[in-house]
Amino acid sequence: MRLLLALCLLATLAPAQEKWVYLDNGQVRLGINLSAGACIGWFSHSHSSDNLLNAYDVGRYVQQSYYGDPDGSDWNGKPWRYNPVQGGSWRNEPAQLLESRETKDELYAKTTPRHWATGKLLPEVTLEQWLRLEGGLARLRFKMAYTGEKTHRPYHQELPALFVKPALDTLVFVGKDASLQRQQPGFPNEIITLGPEPWIAWVNAKDSGLGLHLPHVKEATTYRVRNGNAGDCSYLAPLQTFALKPGLIFEYEVTLAIGTVEQLRSVFRKLGPPK
């Protein structure tokens, strides 16, 4: 599955002209690309040009992505499986945006995803998101509805997929023994188990970067690709294991924040359950 492979291939098709919309509350700025399934591709301090996220192709971004059974599909020579992706396909074919609303306080979008390997639109899957800013935090709520007839086997699901710029190369989290862990993952994927504090951060050499609060999971998958080109990436995804089955509706919320490890840890300790 895509969790075990890099999304760092050069896209073979040029994306359509991009259309971005933003929230900016004077502290942080959050942006989505309506031309890529309304995926989140920008997060920075307010009015800053230093975007911490990675939007290299439609498989990057902060976005919803789910997995089902092998279906005979092929991703650039690799056997693949049922895989609705909010941004679109590996050939940079964008997903279908069904609806979007922008207010000064919230960005909403509803999307029909594409199969990552085949590029086929998957109308049996509907993806929704509600995004808002609270002080220096970005609160991200996601919803997936599956109305297909097939019951798939359980798989690890990315909740959500998160790609950041490669300068953020050190992963920081609190381990099972409650100690602060720092590591630089390689490739392929590594699974990490979270301790009593449900957050993970990607930081730079100055110990500053982007953190993700993920109260709905106990483990995550992560990798880095370092080939010295534009395809370099740092990736993580909170994981839960469940099956896509008829009538399934799944919702969750995560929170993004910017700062040093000390600042992120302090902020995330104060967060309660998702609203």
DSSP 198: -
Residues near 266 by beta carbon (within 8 Å), at least 6 away in sequence: none
What's the alpha-carbon Rg for the chain, to the nearest Å? 17
User: What string of pLDDT tens digits covers the 275 residues of the chain?
Assistant: 444 343 433 333 344 578 999 999 999 999 999 999 999 999 999 989 999 999 888 888 999 999 999 999 999 999 999 999 999 999 999 999 999 999 989 999 999 999 999 999 999 999 999 999 999 999 999 999 999 999 999 999 999 999 999 999 999 999 999 999 999 999 889 999 999 999 999 999 999 999 999 999 999 999 999 988 888 889 999 999 999 999 999 999 999 999 999 999 999 999 965 55
Exposure of 178 by Cβ count < 10 A (0-12 exposed, 13-18 middle, 19+ buried)? exposed
The strand pairing partners of 24, in sequence order, are 29
Q: Within 13 Å and on the Cβ side, how many CA atoms surround 139?
A: 13
What are the tens digits of pLDDT across the range 164-217? Answer: 999 999 999 999 999 999 999 998 899 999 999 999 999 999 999 999 999 999
The residue among 224, 242, 221, 244 whose CA lies nearest residue 232 is: 224
Strand partners, 138: 133, 256
Residue 269 has a CB neighbour count (10 Å cut-off) of: 11
The CA–CA distances, whole Å, from 28 to 42, 46, 129, 165 equal: 10, 4, 19, 17
The first and second tokens of residue 77, run together, are: 């020579």
